[in-house]
Amino acid sequence: MAAKPSKSARARAPGLSIVVPLFNEANGLAHLHARIQEVAGRLKSERGLVIEIVYVDDGSRDSTSDIAKSLPAGGLDVQVVTLSRNFGKEAALLAGLDHARLGAVLFMDGDGQHPPSLIETLVKRWLDDGYDVVYTAKAHRENEPWLRRTGVHWFYALINWGQRQKIPEDAGDFRLLSPRAAQALRQMPERNRFFKGLSSWIGFRQVRVDYEPAPRAYGMTTWNLWTLIGFSIEGLTSFTVAPLRAASLLGLLLAASALLFGGAMLLQTLIYGGDVPGYPSLVVGLMVLGGVQLVMIGVLGEYVGKLLSEIKARPVYFVAEHSLKSAEDEASGKPRTETPRAAE
């Protein structure tokens, strides 16, 4: 990978890098950028906070990358990191973290549902109250289907099972990390990443901020039932061994049930002379045991696949283009700094 920003550049304070992963967000990007610029201007004038935006285009199929590179700096530096293909949101978040040059890092989605007006609240909890991780969470899920609410609840119950550091339920990727929390996150070497879990696992002082997600103004979400299930499986197998524990408990439960059932049949035969259930019970028992064994093999396969990925040590992402538009250069009329097709 190409050289990353130096530690001295990252340690500049006070400073905030806003990382925004993008995927087919061409229609609403200019409006989002203007809203972030407005908030950044207030933070700069009121707190003297230096701010940059790092847009990470995760292999968009529309003109997202071109629009991002054409956005004005307007008082803050603008980086545009274009990945070579769609690597997924976790890879895009890591790319943004790697390219963030200032001390603190704030992550937010590019679809406009994370309100930029909340940035000032997150910064206040960091600078005034001394919190290292300021994360947001949905105030409620009343507008979501019952099945999804139930699935989310059980997902967090399973992923937090036996964990010392719990992942807050309903917490999102919209969060701010102080300089030392961001540096701690950079030290996490795994390639199969679960951002919500890692940013909670590092510890430090953390606080929750509730918010109401804004409706999506442009485009359609790419998240559906199957992608959510796949993301849940990735998060579980990347961050916790709870599925293995559940499989072990299920095996113990079936073994205990078989022992009790066998004992009951033995007593029935010896005492009452009853007939032992035959073919139907045998078929059902074999099907149950076979299905459970296949599920357990599948769970083990997920973890073996994760181990294989870590052993291969492939880069999490590659950068096709990287551009930097400096606010100072734009104000003086100088051309922007750009590195076309720099592989990282």
CA 188 to chain centre: 14
Which CATH architecture fits 7-224+315-339?
A: Alpha-Beta Complex (3.90)
According to the model, what pLDDT value does residue 55 have?
92
> What would the pLDDT profile of 45-54 be if each residue is shown by its tens digit?
888 888 889 9
pTM: 0.71
Arithmetic mean of pLDDT over the chain? 76
Tell how strand 50-57 and strand 77-83 pair up: parallel
Burial letters 114-153, b for 16+ CB under 10 A, else e: bbbebbeebbebbbeeebbbbbbbbeeeeeeeeeeeebbe
pLDDT above 90 as % of the chain: 3
More confident residue, 116 or 308: 116
- pLDDT value at 11 more than 50: no
According to the model, what pLDDT value does residue 37 have?
87
CA 269 to chain centre: 57
> What would the pLDDT profile of 194-209 be if each residue is shown by its tens digit?
788 788 888 888 888 8
d(CA 22, CA 324): 17
Label residue 176 by pLDDT band (50, 70, 90): very high
Residue 245's nearest CA partner among 152, 166, 148, 157 is 157
